[in-house]
A and B are shown apart, each in its own frame.
Chain A
Amino acid sequence: MTVSTTSPMQIPPGLVIAQQLPDLLLPSKVRRGVVGFLRNNPTVAIGGALLLCLVLVGIFAPYLGTVDPTAIAPAKRTRAPSADFWFGTDLLGRDIYSRVLYGARVSLTVGLSVAALASLAGLAIGLVSGFVRWADSVIMRFIDGLMSIPPILLAVALMALTRGSVGNVILAITIAEIPRVSRLVRGVVLSLREQPYVDAATASGTRTPMVILRHILPNTLAPMLVQATYVCASAMIVESILSFIGAGTPPTIPSWGNIMAEGRALWQVKPYMVFFPAAFLSVTVLAVNLVGDGLRDALDPRMAKSL
């Protein structure tokens, strides 16, 4: 409702009349396409740009002025950062700049693989659990049990039993992340299957697999995508923690956790040994979280208001 302020009627002194309200029905400028989406969601744009840079750094690590990240040079041990060694050298004389750049590969591979694998597995478990009544209680008891083991400890226990390799790290973190994704998908599925359009589809003779594929699956994708970014961020942190405590990526492969673990003994006198990998790790995780927060705001305006 609007109050006209242009009426010729005399306004008695002391009476305050409300300002004209903005017309809420005016068409707001709608931006479309990828560019429009990014302009409407600057956090996604910033996070995405940072992430893209890091992916490029990982891919083109060999061409960015790096040397062999595993080449040992005892004569050049523990050099401080300089023009020759941008980030200094470690205890074995290896170039930390090269190691950090190559380390991006491990973190990003682990983060993205775990996000993809955990999402797929969680989607499958969540869909079955949400649609097959008898399986639901059995699956959920198992998920409850798995969720009672703190994820990092579960990954530690799994890694303690396998030989360290990037593949095993991915597998261990994926297993630790699956319960959370399954829970989310199940929750979404349970609320979706009560929707009238699902009833309508069933009533018009659509078979259950088709209902799932056509009507349920597309609607789980938005929350799944947001969850996947958080899984990705968490996986990168867990990978670095596992490597840092010696239960992750084997020491022969430069990963940010490994570089920090090697610098740990000397960090009080040579802080740069820990600083550079730590900074890269933090920026990467921050970038992924920014993308996640932005996507959440964009895809679920209801949640955006509250969180």
Chain B
Amino acid sequence: MSASTSLKTPRTALELQRIVVSKLGWMGCGIALLLVIAPLLDIVGVVTINGLSAFSVQLFTKNTGGTTNGLLNAMEGTVVITLFAMLIAVPIGIGAGIHLSEYGRDRLSSTIRFLSDVLTGTPSIVLGYFSFVVFIIGFGWGFSLAAAAITLAILIVPYLARITELALQQVPNSMREAAYALGATDSKVVFKVVLPAASAGVITGTLLGLAISVGETAPLIYTAGWSDFTWTGHFTHSPVAYLTYVIWTFIDQPDAHSHALAYAAAFFVMLVVLAINISVRLVVKRQKFA
């Protein structure tokens, strides 16, 4: 009994102060976490509600011009630009990743690694302006699909290369040795053994690249231009529409219908980007790729 009473001595002022500071500290941290997550939920909420209320069949059948308009040209443009950007970026990015991972011990590779990090950190508007100077003015292509796709490809390649490299490096060396022991050549080892084993990581990189190219705006303003019609089928001298441009410009228009189109476009872009990122993260967690 005496022991328990002696343990219950009143707390000193210093102890009280420490406890209060700790409680306040935890509260601060909790509020901070809320303040970080709440805007995301609000963004998703606002865009989803306004986007869904703007939903109609017209969105998929009409172009942006005219009075009863939709988003057909913008959606088609985004799909086409992304498709061609991926066609350019995927072979180069995966090739660079293979080189970095399998033959990447020399000075050239560490230079490539450093430069690709620099390229990742370069603001996309700088890349966009570069393309404007080179393709639009230099080559005289005009605002065009080719310029837009190449710009996005330059943007995606470094991501793709680094993710591919990481994925390939996680393939155990014993698999390579086993393949070599069976008499496989260098290229057979890489393409028939290592690449299939790392396919999940490579696909992850490709999907993230896809998400980036769907969500980008700044580099496209200076390269794709804008068109109220669907893609003409020409690679140069014909501007292309894309969804993010609709978000950027239509929200500044005075009429409610333009606002609705902007929200609908934002909804589609966000849906694609979040769906890709969430599914990639879930799959990655399960497969222990990091």
Co-assembled chains A and B? no
